[in-house]
Amino acid sequence: MTLFSLLLVLGWERLFKLGEHWQLDHRLEPLFRGRQRFSLLRTLMMTVIAMLIVWLVVWSLKGILFGVAQLLFWIVVGLLCIGAGSVRLHYHSYLKAASHDDEAAHQAMAAELTLIHGVPVECSEREFLRELQNALIWINFRFYLAPLFWFVVGGPYGPVLLVGYAFLRAWQSWLAKHHSPLERSQSGVDRLLHVLDWIPVRLAGVAYALLGHGERALPAWFAALGDLHRPQYQVLTSLAQFSLARDPHMDKVETPRVAVALAKRISLVLVVVVALLTIYGTLV
Query: Along the 284 residues of the chain, how does pLDDT read in single tens digits?
Result: 676 777 777 777 776 666 677 788 888 988 898 788 899 999 999 999 999 999 999 999 887 877 788 889 998 999 899 988 778 877 878 788 778 777 777 677 777 777 777 777 667 777 888 888 889 999 999 999 999 999 988 888 899 999 999 999 999 999 988 888 899 999 999 999 999 999 999 999 888 888 766 567 788 888 888 878 889 999 999 888 888 877 766 778 888 888 888 888 888 888 888 777 777 665 55
Q: d(Cα 277, Cα 284) in Å, to the nearest integer?
A: 9
pTM of the model: 0.91
- Which letter, b or e, does each residue of 249-269 get, where b requires 16 or more Cβ atoms within 10 Å of its Cβ? beebeebbbbbbebbeebbee
Residue 61: CB partners within 8 Å, gap ≥ 6? 69, 70, 73
Whether residue 283 contacts residue 277, with contact meaning beta carbons closer than 8 Å, is answered with yes
